A and B are shown apart, each in its own frame.
Chain A
Amino acid sequence: MLELRLVQGSLLKKVLEAIKELVTDANFDCSATGFSLQAMDSSHVALVALLLRSEGFEHYRCDRNLSMGMNLNNVSKMLRCAGNDDIITLKADDGSDTVTFMFESPNQDKIADFEMKLMDIDSEHLGIPEAEYHAIVKMPSAEFARICKDLSSIGDTVVISVTKEGVKFSTRGDIGNANIVCRQNTTVDKPEEATIIEMQEPVSLTFALRYMNSFTKATPLSNTVTISLSSELPVVVEYKVADMGYIRFYLAPKIED
């Protein structure tokens, strides 16, 4: 028996909008730790890891570890039927091939349940060890989204370089090239507007902008984004999901042929 009640149902709606462009089908795993997902895009270039900790739910019952295969476009269709202020409850019986999404309006005057078929998905699960990153950049998520969008009108790839001067996003294309430098800026009115750069050593890596733009679909989840970089490792682009977890996007770099 599985029963997860999330008072801030809009978080789940935003999570689905953040990942459904990157991943088509995925297994949602439920355990005592929480509700999680790990999936790669169809090209195996990017990976998304979601964790919503059990403590973040108002009610969390998961009698045994359960993996539920879902088409994310179909989940998104279901969740779009929930109001932004609705409480969302996920229910599944042991051995069932369906999951039920229950939506309750805040004043309890409307209760809806949507049942969705589950599917069998063969997914490859990767072990991702904790890594020491050469540079970690924390910046406003809207600023990062704007930079990725702007650069993708010029080129297909972005070079992200971190030095003691700041973090530089560069691209080049047929019409020209572009460089955007963000310096560390902690003298702002609100902490979420700060750009904070922790650098152990300079790093410069090249990534496909198409994927970066896809990651920025998570922008509504968090005011800030954290970008962790190490030479010849995938970049990690992390958005916090309130105080209950995170979405992490991993993207493999491009290297010289």
Chain B
Amino acid sequence: WKLQKRIISFYELE
């Protein structure tokens, strides 16, 4: 099984 990461887990909210 592969877990789909979310884009917001990589970058900081401005």
Which residues of A pack against B, CB within 8 Å? 40, 43-47, 124-129, 157, 206, 208, 233-234, 250-257
Contacts and interface: CB of A to CB of B under 8 A. Distances in A.
A255 B3 CA distance: 5
B11 A128 contact: yes
Given A40-B7, A254-B2, 15 more contacts: A44-B8, A46-B7, A125-B14, A127-B14, A128-B11, A129-B11, A208-B4, A233-B10, A234-B10, A250-B7, A252-B6, A252-B9, A255-B5, A257-B1, A257-B2
26 contacts: A40-B7, A45-B5, A45-B6, A45-B7, A124-B13, A125-B13, A125-B14, A126-B8, A126-B11, A126-B12, A126-B14, A127-B12, A127-B13, A127-B14, A157-B2, A208-B4, A234-B7, A250-B7, A251-B7, A252-B4, A254-B3, A254-B4, A255-B3, A255-B5, A257-B1, A257-B3
Nearest to B2: A254
Contacts of B10: 233-234, 252
Contacts of B11: 126-129
A256 B1 CA distance: 6
Interface of B: 1-14
A214 to B, nearest CB: 14
A254 B7 CA distance: 11
A135 B10 CA distance: 18
B11 to A, nearest CB: 4
Nearest to B13: A124
B8 to A, nearest CB: 5
A133 to B, nearest CB: 13
Contacts of B7: 40, 44-47, 126, 234, 250-252
Contacts of B5: 45, 252-255
Contact of B13 (A46, A126, A206): A126
A208 B7 CA distance: 13
B13 to A, nearest CB: 6
A43 B12 contact: no
A40 B7 CA distance: 8
A46 B6 CA distance: 8
A126 B11 CA distance: 6
A39 B8 CA distance: 11
A231 B4 CA distance: 15
B2 A43 contact: no
Contacts of A252: 4-7, 9-10
A39 to B, nearest CB: 11
Contact of A256 (B2, B12, B14): B2
